[in-house]
């Protein structure tokens, strides 16, 4: 127990943890009640024994360390994918068969090992990338720990410990805070040592300015921003000095709650829409492969299992293990053919290319899948400060005095940044500045502690943003006639500071709500310059200055007109500051800043400032605001056209947020927004929250806390919306983590927000999000193009193997060849389809639903037709080589190969029973193939026919990539050169195919041989019709779409009639 404390409430505080802070709302109790509850005296602090006792209850003041998943569990998780499982099973079976074949040795043994090793390599790389991404997921929690204070100045046992480790703090500790300190725990302010205490807590609460703190109690049910007598862990003291009482530590602090929310949100991350579609596709594919494999075995069972019927019962079963293994290999080939092995690599490449495009538009993507998710965003939940606005205060309106006491002058001021050259003052008097405007410029420039500097292409404020905005105004006002300034950035302010040299400062405090400076003019006369809250200055003003510099009494009528102007500006969400001065300062006439001067004593006591700042002469007022970005209005319009709803969720004041939302187009100018604009607290009290969120058009949530943001995102996701959430503060991190797309601010954003996000805006600009959504839609359309292309290719391969098995002819394509086509040959064209130019109306369409089908019934039918043709072409050319000396006028007899009948080819397994069957040697390139056993002509001798089948497959898939340029558009309207990268990719793929054909070692690995000129002509003749077939199907699709649109138009016309 602290010295001097009493033993009251001991059992109460010891027996209960802090987990329910509402049990004792320290912000709603006066200082004495807080000291009594925590059993401490602010002068003495806690004793060592009491600290140890409380630490047993509350633990250390630190955030929990959540144990992440082990590396092994992350590795296992990477195989929790249907396509990957199919590949893994295929690889294992393939490896076992390769091992079996390896006992026999020979060339085919080497070839067989290539396939399983390549598949295993794909799976390993996929697992490594997945584990790396998952391992980075908890970085947001680590970044959160970095913003915690490490040390604190604590009073214990009556003495001050200036550098105690912050983790040692316990509830009841007395902590001293000063300017620049980071707050080490959630604390109740018990005593202000300075007249003013200001804390920067925007990263936690979303407020755009530093907040004045007090030691007076507030309402017990105040929201986070309303707890003016509390300071929160992780925030920073920007002005003042105070004593605080620790009320909550560790995970019970507001930042601890954010930590817990981030952890919970990270546990509930869902797959992206595309991943879900691919998983569904993988499950369907598994079923189809299983059915086809079983069917292939059933129709070929006669080749490896025979029996005789004796007395009506099957007897004398004969089983050929060799042929059973052969047809098992066909089933494995079927699995390899059906799985688009190259798809993960191509998707990753396309997404990576998308990130580069987005980076050029200032959107830095941290997680690749979010590129695709952006394309189906239906709701953007945006923060206000710094995203929709510039987060730079600017003067929007200046009100000066007129020629008479009842006339004022109002000037609109342009500009949204701290650049003095950004914008101008409208209706500004040409020529010399009148005396009244000179006085306003002098007060704004001299009674000011801010500075502005240029950093690269940006202008940065140092000090209070409102004061920096006033200095920018002074620069826009210009210098008095005849005055010459230097070439400095703030040359006008510098001139005024030389003209009126400051000798003393009357610091701002919360009671009088003003700041004053005593200056020494060049004439040697002292004067007081004051700026502050307009109402407070008017109370202390007795005169007013007119346009020509003359001074008249400030009567009630003039006072009322000034207050009317103030109310008009305040209702427009402008923050108003008034200006006044005083020329009669008899006690300071000889004051030069010396501590020995009698007047210096007056300046040491802030309680004297109000009397010094009395009898003022009022000169004018300004309205300031955090202005909206210029691009935001059009970006909101683009969202509306694209069917994307915009919801603004901010911690700022309701009227300020409403004014900004009306200005940027979230709300209409004359729209009734009473049902669309709620505080976070009001929203949480609604009976039907989802109904509120389902309203069409924009919504606003002001004074929102982290839990409000999370709840809004959660409800939207439950309703099937795809949510993009922006934020920059610590308070935004849980919602960023929970949203489908978390978007952090790159300039103003905290590291916590960035680590929790999927994307970072390099320019903090809302319009960048809209541009990124458009890019995401374009990328998704292109991904659909290459996914359709790759899947159609796989359907063709499946059809080829199925027809081979169904017709009983020798295997025309082996697994390693299919793997080469799927991974290497198909890869470049599929990747190049990611460069298709975006549709011009990409942001004029409604967002696709996250459950929209990747492949429609019509697209599936089209590619079944194309796939069937691929199967017929690859099997057909295999049969043609064996059975025809020429085809379509192309001579194929030049290599001297032996022709057989189709019947012989389809019953090649019975070759050993044929009488007088013999074959001649044939040539392929420089090789001559001869056969001691004629039946080998259908195994080793099929190498030329296999090469033709593989070449037709490659050629058809190259031509089919041209079909994929557009879903329904003809090649006549979208010719190949609209995407030159595709033509380059086709050349690369053909080049790779030539490489394995004409490099002997590679030809041996893939079991193929070089082709002659005539054989290439045959390949092209068989492959080219795929373009004509798809053109006919596209034409049918366009006709069907046209008929549907006409029917919809007729239907809507009838309804309107």
**Catalytic residue IDs:** 383
The rounded distance, in Å, linking the Cα atoms of 320 and 302 is 10
- Residue 1000: other Cβ atoms inside 10 A: 12
Sign of the dihedral through C-alpha 1028, 1031, 1035, 1040: positive
The rounded distance, in Å, linking the Cα atoms of 586 and 965 is 86
Q: Which residues pair with 458 in a beta bridge?
A: 455
- 3-state SS of 111-122 is HHHHHHHHHHHH
Nearest in space to 742 (alpha carbons), one of 731, 730, 729, 753: 753
Sign of the dihedral through C-alpha 588, 593, 598, 599: positive
The rounded distance, in Å, linking the Cα atoms of 335 and 323 is 19
Q: Which residues pair with 506 in a beta bridge?
A: 516
Secondary structure of residue 212 in the 3-state scheme: strand
Under 8 Å between Cβ of 1022 and 957: no
User: CB under 8 Å to 953, separation ≥6 — which residues?
Assistant: 796, 797, 800, 813, 821, 870, 874
Under 8 Å between Cβ of 944 and 881: yes
Sign of the dihedral through C-alpha 847, 851, 854, 858: negative
Under 8 Å between Cβ of 567 and 399: no
Here the tokens at position 1010 are 């070089």
Q: Is residue 302 exposed (0-12), middle (13-18) or buried (19+ Cβ within 10 Å)?
A: exposed
Phi, psi of 133 (to 5 degrees): -65, -45
- Residue 630: other Cβ atoms inside 10 A: 11
User: CB under 8 Å to 671, separation ≥6 — which residues?
Assistant: 662
The rounded distance, in Å, linking the Cα atoms of 378 and 201 is 31
Number of H helices, E strands in the chain: 37, 34
Q: Computed over its alpha carbons, how large is the radius of gyration of the chain?
A: 39
* DSSP structure string for 920-979: --EEETTEEE--SSGGGGGTGGGHHHHHHHHHHHHHHHHHHHHHTT-SS--TTTS-GGGS
Edge-to-edge strand ranges of the sheet holding 699-702: 363-365, 759-761, 741-745, 723-727, 379-382, 645-649, 699-702, 677-679
* DSSP structure string for 22-75: GGS-GGGS-HHHHHHHHT--TTT-B-HHHHHHHHHHH--SS---PPPPPHHHHH
User: CB under 8 Å to 285, separation ≥6 — which residues?
Assistant: 82, 83, 86, 338, 339
């Amino acid at each position: 127990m602290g010295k001097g404390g009493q033993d009251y409430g001991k059992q109460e505080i010891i027996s209960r943890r802090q987990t329910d802070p509402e049990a004792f709302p320290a912000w709603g109790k006066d200082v004495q009640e807080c000291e009594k509850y925590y059993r401490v005296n602010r002068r003495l602090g806690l004793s060592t024994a009491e600290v140890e006792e409380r630490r047993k209850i509350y633990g250390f003041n630190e955030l929990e360390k959540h144990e992440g998943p082990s590396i092994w569990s992350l590795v296992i998780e990477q195989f929790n994918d249907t396509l990957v499982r199919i590949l893994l099973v295929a690889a294992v079976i393939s490896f076992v068969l390769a091992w079996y074949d390896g006992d026999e040795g020979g060339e085919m043994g080497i070839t067989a090992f290539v396939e399983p090793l390549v598949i295993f390599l794909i799976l390993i790389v996929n697992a490594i990338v997945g584990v790396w991404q998952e391992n980075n997921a908890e970085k947001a929690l680590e970044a959160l720990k970095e913003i915690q204070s490490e040390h604190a100045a604590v009073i214990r046992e009556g003495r001050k410990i200036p550098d105690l480790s912050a983790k040692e703090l316990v509830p009841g500790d007395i902590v001293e805070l000063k300017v620049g300190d980071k707050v080490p725990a959630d604390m109740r302010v018990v005593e202000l040592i300075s007249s003013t205490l200001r804390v920067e807590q925007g990263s936690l609460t979303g407020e755009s300015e530093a907040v004045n703190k007090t030691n007076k109690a507030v309402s017990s049910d105040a929201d986070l921003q309303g707890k003016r007598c509390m300071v929160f862990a992780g925030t920073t003291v920007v002005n003042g000095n105070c004593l605080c009482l620790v009320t909550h530590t560790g995970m019970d602090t507001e930042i601890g709650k954010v930590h817990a929310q981030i952890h919970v949100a990270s546990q509930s991350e869902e797959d992206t829409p595309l991943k879900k579609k691919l998983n569904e596709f993988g499950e369907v594919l598994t079923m189809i492969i299983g059915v086809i494999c079983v069917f292939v075995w059933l129709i070929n069972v006669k080749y490896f299992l025979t029996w005789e019927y004796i007395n009506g019962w099957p007897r004398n079963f004969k089983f050929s293990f060799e042929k059973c293994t052969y047809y098992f290999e066909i089933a494995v080939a079927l699995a390899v053919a059906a799985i688009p092995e190259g798809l993960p690599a191509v998707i990753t490449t396309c997404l990576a290319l998308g990130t580069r495009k987005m980076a050029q538009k200032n959107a830095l993507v941290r997680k690749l899948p979010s590129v695709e998710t952006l394309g189906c965003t239906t709701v953007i939940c945006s923060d206000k400060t710094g995203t929709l606005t510039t987060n730079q205060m600017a003067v929007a309106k200046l009100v000066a005095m007129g020629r008479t006491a009842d006339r004022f002058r109002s000037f609109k001021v342009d500009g949204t940044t701290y650049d003095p050259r950004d914008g101008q003052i409208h209706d500004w008097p040409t020529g010399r500045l009148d005396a009244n405007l000179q006085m306003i410029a002098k007060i704004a420039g001299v009674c000011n502690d801010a500075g502005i500097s240029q950093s690269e292409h940006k202008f940065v404020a140092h000090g209070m943003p409102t004061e920096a905005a006033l200095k920018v105004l002074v620069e826009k006002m210009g210098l008095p006639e005849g005055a010459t300034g230097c070439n400095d950035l703030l040359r006008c302010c510098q001139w005024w500071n030389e003209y009126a040299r400051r000798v003393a400062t009357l610091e701002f405090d919360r009671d009088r709500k003003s700041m004053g400076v005593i200056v020494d003019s060049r004439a040697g006369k002292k004067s007081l310059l004051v700026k502050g809250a307009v109402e407070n200055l008017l109370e202390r003003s007795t005169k007013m200055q007119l346009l020509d510099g003359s001074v008249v009494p400030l009567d009630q009528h003039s006072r009322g007109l000034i207050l009317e102007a103030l109310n008009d500006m305040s209702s427009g969400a402008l923050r108003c500051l008034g200006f006044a001065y005083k020329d009669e300062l008899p006690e300071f006439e000889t004051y030069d800043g010396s501590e020995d001067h009698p007047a210096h004593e007056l300046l040491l006591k802030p309680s004297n400032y109000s009397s010094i700042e009395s009898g003022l002469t009022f000169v004018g007022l300004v309205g300031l605001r955090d202005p909206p970005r210029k691009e935001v209005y059009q970006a909101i319009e683009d969202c509306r056209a694209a069917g994307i709803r915009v919801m603004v969720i901010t911690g700022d004041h309701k009227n300020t947020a409403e004014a900004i939302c009306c200005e940027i187009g979230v709300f209409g100018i004359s729209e009734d927004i009473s049902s669309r604009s709620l505080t976070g607290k009001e929203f949480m009290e609604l009976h039907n929250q989802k109904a509120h969120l389902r309203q069409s058009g924009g919504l606003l949530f002001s004074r929102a806390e982290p839990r409000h943001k999370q709840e809004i995102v959660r409800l939207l996701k439950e309703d099937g919306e795809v949510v993009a959430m922006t934020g920059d503060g610590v308070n935004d991190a849980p919602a960023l983590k929970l949203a489908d797309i978390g978007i952090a601010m790159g300039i103003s954003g905290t590291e916590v927000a960035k680590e929790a996000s999927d994307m970072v805006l390099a320019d903090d600009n809302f319009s960048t999000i809209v541009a990124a959504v458009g890019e995401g839609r374009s990328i998704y359309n292109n991904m659909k193009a290459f996914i359709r292309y790759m899947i159609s290719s796989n359907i063709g391969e499946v059809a080829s193997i199925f027809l081979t098995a169904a017709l009983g002819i020798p295997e025309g394509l082996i697994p390693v060849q299919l793997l080469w086509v799927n991974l290497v040959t198909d890869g470049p064209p599929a990747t190049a389809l990611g460069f298709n130019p975006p549709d011009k109306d990409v942001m004029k369409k409604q967002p696709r639903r996250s459950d929209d089908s990747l492949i429609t019934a019509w697209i599936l039918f089209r590619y079944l037709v194309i796939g069937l043709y691929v199967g017929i072409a690859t099997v057909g050319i295999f049969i043609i080589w064996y059975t025809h000396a020429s085809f379509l006028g192309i001579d194929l007899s030049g290599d001297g190969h032996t022709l057989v009948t189709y019947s012989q080819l389809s019953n090649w397994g019975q070759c050993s029973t044929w009488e007088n069957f013999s074959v001649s040697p044939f040539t392929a390139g420089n090789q001559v193939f001869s056969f001691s056993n004629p039946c080998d002509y259908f195994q080793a001798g099929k190498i030329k026919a296999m090469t033709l089948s593989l070449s037709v497959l490659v050629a058809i898939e190259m031509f089919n990539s041209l079909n994929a340029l557009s879903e329904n558009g003809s090649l006549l309207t979208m010719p190949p050169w609209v995407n030159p990268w595709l033509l380059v990719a086709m050349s690369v793929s053909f080049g790779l195919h030539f490489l394995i054909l004409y490099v002997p070692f590679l030809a041996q690995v893939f079991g193929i041989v070089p082709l002659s000129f005539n054989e290439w002509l045959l390949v092209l003749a068989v492959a080219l019709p795929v373009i004509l077939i798809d053109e006919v199907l596209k034409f049918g699709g366009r006709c069907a779409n046209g008929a549907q649109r006409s029917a919809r138009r007729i239907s809507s016309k009838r309804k309107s009639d």
